Structure 1
Amino acid sequence: MKRKNILVLLASFMLFASACSDDSEVDSIKPTIDIGFTNAFPNNCDTIYFGESFQLKLRFSDNAELGSYSIDIHNNFDHHSHSTEVSECDLGPVKEPVNPYVLIDDYSIPQGLKAYETNLTISVPATNEGVLLDEGDYHFYISLTDSEGWSVQKGLSIKMLHR
C-alpha cells in the first residue's frame, strides 16, 4: 500500500511538472544594426552639415521581434571613445565646447517586425538661440532594443560642419 501511494504521488508530481513547463523558446539573441548597405547613412567618418536635413538610413533585424531604437549625437571635442567601428577617422584638435549640438531621441518600431529600415528625416539647426553651433568631431550613437530587452549599440565618429 505504501509503495502504491508513493507511485501515485510520483506520477502526480510528474504530471504536474510537465503541465507547468513553458513550451515557448527564450529569446537569447541580440538584435543587429546594419550600416553596410548602399545608401546607409550615417557611416563612420561621414559629415553632417548644420542648417541642413539628412535621411537616417539604418537596417535593424532580430530573430524574434524588434522593439525600439534611440540616437544620441554629442560632441567628441575631448576625443573620448565609444566607437564600435574598426576604421578610425581624422580628428581635429582637442577643444572646449562653447555651443555644442546635442540630440537625444527615442523611436518606436511597429510591433511584430523582425526587420526594419529607417527612413527618418532629421533636421539639424545651424544655431542655438542665435549662436552658431560648434563644428568639429561628434559621435553618432545608435542603440537598438528588441521586444525581449536585448540591446546592441553602434558608435560612429562623424564630423559636423557649417557649409
Structure 2
Amino acid sequence: MKNNLFYIILLPFIMLFSCNNDEDISPKPQISNFSVSDGHHHHGAHEGTIIIAGEEAIIDADLEGNKLSTVKLDIHWGEGHEHSITHDEDSIPWATNIIWQFGVNDGLTPEGVYPNNHQLHEHIDIPSMVEGLPIKEGNYHFLLHLWDQDGNETQSVLNVEIISNHEHE
C-alpha cells in the first residue's frame, strides 16, 4: 500500500515534467556570408581584412529568419581578447554600436515590412580620431547581431585590423 501511495503522489509530477510542450518555437535567425571590406579596396602586405582609420568600411551579410526585426553592429577593441576601453596617452580604442531596423520609417525596409531574407550592404565611416586622440591600431571585433520579431537572436563576429598609417597606391 505504501508503494501505491508513493506512486500516486509521484504521478502528477511525472506527468508535469514529461508532457510534450506543443508551443511553436521559431528557429533562430541566420547570418551568412558576413564580410567587412574597405571602401577603396586597398591591398597591403597584411593577411585578412584591413581597414584604414579615417576611411570607409563596407558591411555585407545575408540575413535570414522569420520576420527580421533588428540588426546591430557592435565594433570594439578586441586584441588578445581584451575588451579594454582604457587608452594610453598616444591613442584610444574605438567602440561603437550601429543599429538598423526593419519595418520602420527610414529603416532597412518600408514601414510594416519585416522580411524573411535580406542582403545587408551598409557603408560606415571609421574615424581616425576619438576624443582628440588617434584611434588605437590593431584588431577590432566586428560583432553582427540579428533579431527576429519573436525576439530570437543570433550573432556572427569577424576580427578586422584597423591601421592608421597608409600610403595611397
Normalising to structure 1: TM-score of the pair?
0.65
Q: Which residue of 1 aligns with 2:58?
A: 55
State the Cα RMSD in Å. 2.4
Q: Which residue of 2 aligns with 1:29?
A: 27
How many residues are treated as equivalent by the alignment?
120
Q: Which residue of 2 aligns with 1:5?
A: none
Whether 2:49 is the aligned partner of 1:46: answer yes
Structure 1 ranges of 4+ moved more than 6 A: none
Q: Which residue of 1 aligns with 2:137?
A: 135
Which of 64, 68, 85 is residue 66 of structure 1 equivalent to?
Answer: 68
Aligned-pair identity (%) = 24
Return the alpha-carbon distance in structure 2 between the equivalents of residues 112 and 67 of structure 1.
6
Return the alpha-carbon distance in structure 1 between the equivalents of residues 116 and 51 of structure 2.
29
Q: Which residue of 2 aligns with 1:151?
A: 153
Q: 1:75-90 to 2 correspondence within 5 Å?
A: 75-77=77-79, 79-80=80-81
SS in 2 for 1:148: coil
Return the alpha-carbon distance in structure 2 between the equivalents of residues 30 and 129 of structure 1.
38
The runs of 5 or more residues in structure 2 that have no matched partner are 1-22, 38-47, 103-108
For the 8 Å contact 1:27–1:148, the answer to whether it is kept is: no
SS in 1 for 2:81: coil
- The structure showing larger relative contact order (alpha-carbon pairs under 8 Å, at least 6 residues apart) is 1
How many angstroms does 1:129 deviate by? 3.5
How many angstroms does 1:65 deviate by? 1.1
Q: Which residue of 2 aligns with 1:103?
A: 96
| Greater strand fraction, Structure 1 or Structure 2 | 2
Normalising to structure 2: TM-score of the pair?
0.63
The runs of 5 or more residues in structure 1 that have no matched partner are 1-24, 83-95
